[in-house]
Amino acid sequence: MTVSQVARNGGTIAYEVHGAGPLVVLAHGMGEHRATFRHLAPRLVAAGYRIAAVDVRGHGDSSPHWPTYAPAEVGGDLLAVVRELGGGPATLVGSSSGGAGVVFAAADAPELVNGIVQISPFVGRPRKPNPLLRAAVLRSPRLFGWFHRTRFPGGRPADDAAYRAEMVARLRGRMAAVRGVIAPVDPHWTVRAREVRQPVLVLMGTRDPDFPDPGAEARAARRRFAVAEARMIADSGHYPHADQPDATAADLVEFLRVTAPAQGHDVD
């Protein structure tokens, strides 16, 4: 495993590249790191794509402390990775809170982005737990790990315990970033969505516990864009790339055949 770094506004953004072909950049959500895509990335590589899995600012191997974690800046970080890897254009995939950053990137630099994918995006505000519990989860790596475990109502990956232990360890000293990536900020990504002219795919698990009606949330996200499609991943929670990687990869590859077709490859 080789971890690369790109400089960005006084800090560094870490990313890991695998495969060859059209570029696909993966951005995780709150509290996670690039290994959340450990099951999805090999499937996309096998389908003929060059995959760059990014540690969102403040997470993983990226610099720990930033003045802001706003999605506009996250989008700028993703564009910096695309430029570092030759200027793309790239398809950007954002999971959960990462789904906001890909919208800003596509709107700000359409010449570098040929399509975006939102996995489990938040159109409105997520369900709020008890305020004291929420405050504790957003300040304690151990409690965040417990919360993360609850996002898999349909079953967790076989290696989930090991991934979660690493995630919790990596969060020590970085909980300000966890709070930062979900802090309310203007403009919300939905304000910029109409500026996105590239194709958009919205993916949502049918059992995502963050939404009273995941299908309605997916359709609400789709309607924000000029050209978009929403698809549901059966029996999946908030992280379909982790609990249903085959189905997620199949939908992604079908979308990528439009935005960035790879030659001579397919997904099982």
Q: Give residue 182's region: left, alpha or beta (phi > 0; psi -120 to 50).
A: alpha
Question: What's the average model confidence in pLDDT over 167-186?
Answer: 93
Q: What pLDDT is recorded for position 265? A: 53
What was the pLDDT predicted at 125?
63
Residues 6+ apart with CB under 8 A from 110: 197, 198
β-sheet bridge partners, residue 201: 117, 229
pLDDT confidence of residue 197 = 96
Provide the token pair at 68. Answer: 């802001």
Whether 118 contacts 200, CB under 8 Å:
yes
User: Domain segments of the chain: what residues?
Assistant: 3-259
Joined tokens for residue 208: 């995502």
Q: What is the mean pLDDT of residues 202-214?
A: 96
Rounded (5°) CA angle 3-85-231 = 90
| 80 pLDDT more than 70 | yes
Q: Return the higher-pLDDT residue of 27 and 184.
A: 27
**pTM of the predicted model as reported, rounded to 2 decimal places:** 0.95
pLDDT of residue 267: 46
Q: Report which secondary-structure segment, H or E, holds 105.
A: helix 98-108
Q: How far apart are CA 148 and CA 140, in angstroms?
A: 12
For 97-119, write each residue's pLDDT tens digit.
999 999 999 999 999 999 999 99
Task: Please give the Cα distance from 219 to 201 (Å, whole number).
Answer: 11
Which DSSP state fits 111?
A: G
The per-residue pLDDT of the chain, averaged, comes to 93
Question: 19 near 49, Cβ under 8 Å?
Answer: yes
pLDDT digits (tens, 9 = 90+) for 29-68: 999 999 999 999 999 999 999 999 999 999 999 999 999 9
> Domain 3-259 falls in which CATH fold?
Rossmann fold (3.40.50)
